[in-house]
Amino acid sequence: MNAPSCPTQTRLYQDGAVVAEGFPAGEAAAKLDEHPEAVLWLDLEDPDTDDLAAIAGPFHLHPLALEDAVQDHEAPKLQRYPGHMFLNVYALDVDAAGDRLRLSKNEISAFVTERALITVRKSPGDTAPLIGRWDADAGLIAAGGVSFLLYGLLAVVVDGQFAAAQRVDAAVDAIEDTLLEEGGAPRPVRMRGVALRKLVATIRRPVAPMPDLVSQAMRTDGRTVDEQVAPYYTDVEEHARHTVDEVEHLRDRIEGVLQADLAEQGNVLNDITRKLAAWAAVIAVPTALTGFFGQNLPYPGYETTWGFVVSTVVIVACASGLYLYLRRRGWL
């Protein structure tokens, strides 16, 4: 077997224990021959076509699956080929970048054969959580074999997706009160809300197919996984559905908050328009009565001091009365 040139990790499990690790990827097939009861984990980091071709022969990997494994941005999926399964999933991580959240996606493809789990990571990532998950229940590897290795991969991916959704939920909590304040939120806060809506939509795409993908992974060539491992798959499937529900709730929540903020802005605009109209009415009253600085028609007491006083009192009284009326109605 030719050795891939990309960075690799290897582990060989037998009877629930690691019997070899860190050996060259080119020796993987030979190690399986030396240990007929063992199962293999082979990880390749950002391999090219030649790297995948080096392992394709010994593990009888389908050309179409190899093509999908080397392509970036494939949709989450699980496909069955003669002798193996191929799946594509996304590990997610959300961290803070200033006052905004940043999403990182690590696309992971996997070939699942009878005795090997071959993972293809298309960008650098930490495999410690995956190894830790396997080591925590290593005894089940003896019963479940590759099915248990696949369970560990799916569990780590789903847990990471749920953690990402929770971080976004906390971010929505942080801006929700500001968005719902009277008078509408400041523009920077509103733009953070829009950015969160886009982030939720980005998270939803790799998360939504996961429950069905886990359910399909429980069946290998028409047979369900070992009864000792099956409850673990069921648990991951439930977590995946819970994550989907969480993301859908987040999408509805952030959309509702932004709509409420938009409605509040509309209320403020209506209030301002109403006040302008009310003041225009108050100002129009003395204008309509007199023009004040040049009354065009004679009135009682025209060209006399007492007449001017009466005219002024009438103007002030009418304008004041209209102001008090509009004030009582809440227009001012």
pLDDT digits (tens, 9 = 90+) for 181-238: 666 667 787 788 888 999 999 999 999 999 999 999 887 544 555 677 888 899 999 9
- The CATH number of whichever domain residue 236 belongs to comes to 3.30.460.20
The CA-to-CA distance between both ends of the chain, in Å, stands at: 85
- Asked if pLDDT for residue 76 goes beyond 90, the answer is yes
In DSSP terms, which residues pair with 95 in a beta bridge? Answer: 102
Exposure string of 102-113, with b = 16+ CB inside 10 Å and e = fewer, is ebebbbbbbbbb
Please enumerate, as own/partner, the contacts of 180-184 that have beta carbons within 8 Å and a separation of 24 or more.
Answer: 180/257, 180/260, 180/261, 180/264, 181/264, 182/264, 183/264, 183/268, 184/261, 184/264, 184/265, 184/268
* Confidence band for 92, pLDDT divided at 50, 70 and 90: very high
Region 56-83: mean pLDDT is: 92
Higher pLDDT, 2 or 196: 196
Same domain, 116 and 72: yes
- Asked if pLDDT for residue 78 goes beyond 80, the answer is yes
Same domain, 73 and 104: yes
pLDDT of residue 299: 61
d(CA 157, CA 130): 9
Cβ distance 69 to 52 under 8 Å? yes
Same domain, 187 and 129: yes
Any residues with CB less than 8 A from the CB of 198 and at least 6 apart, and which?
Answer: none
pLDDT of residue 164: 94
Within-domain flag for 253: yes
- Asked if pLDDT for residue 294 goes beyond 60, the answer is no
Total domain count for the chain?
2
Q: Domain range for residue 276?
A: 269-328
pTM of the model: 0.79
Within-domain flag for 169: yes
- Asked if pLDDT for residue 140 goes beyond 70, the answer is yes
* Confidence band for 1, pLDDT divided at 50, 70 and 90: low
Within-domain flag for 2: no
Same domain, 12 and 114: yes
pLDDT digits (tens, 9 = 90+) for 159-181: 999 999 999 998 888 887 777 66
pLDDT of residue 5: 87
Last residue of a domain, one of 249, 265, 281: 265
